[in-house]
Amino acid sequence: MKKIVIIFLFILIQGISYGGNPRLIGKYQTNIGIGLSEYSPPVYFGIENYLLNDITIGMEVSYRSSNTTREGKFYRENIIGFSANGNYHFNEMLDLDKEWDLYSGLNAGYYYWYSPNSNEYFNSNIGIGFQVGGRYYFNEYFGVNVEIGVGNAFNGGKFGFSFRF
């Protein structure tokens, strides 16, 4: 966790010294990667649409599974998450170079938690959260991302790859 915070701060400090961002209205970006959580690491896929140059809305799907033992019985538990998010991108405000994308926002979703070998359902509910993240694009289309979040299935954060189109 400390390494992720250090990397994020490094990206933030480095990004502030650059300038100029492209027009992104109507463009999309996708994210794919792995998350950090109290349980097993989730894998995720998300897509965002730029409504304005500084504002995106999007959705995300995640999956994780873990093995647990309760009352002497073995259970395999699966969690599937569906969420929507909205982010404000600080690129124009901070006059960042086009390679950088720093953002913060809110998300809400439904997390379906079940055990296929027992037909039991656990803690399936709605999650609401807040995220802060950054991306670095190596070129116009491909980059890496890191995000720290609280209050949802990705408590702790996630990291992966981003694609613009």
Residue pair 68/77 in contact (Cβ under 8 Å)? The answer is yes
C-alpha gyration radius of the chain: 17
Where does the pLDDT of residue 42 fall: very low under 50, low under 70, confident under 90, or very high at 90 and above? Answer: confident
What's the longest Cα–Cα distance across the chain? 60
Top CATH class of 2-164 equals: mainly beta
How do residues 138-155 score in pLDDT, each as one tens digit? 998 999 999 998 876 556
How do residues 62-82 score in pLDDT, each as one tens digit? 998 877 776 777 777 788 889
How do residues 89-148 score in pLDDT, each as one tens digit? 998 899 989 899 999 999 998 888 777 666 665 666 788 889 999 999 999 899 999 999
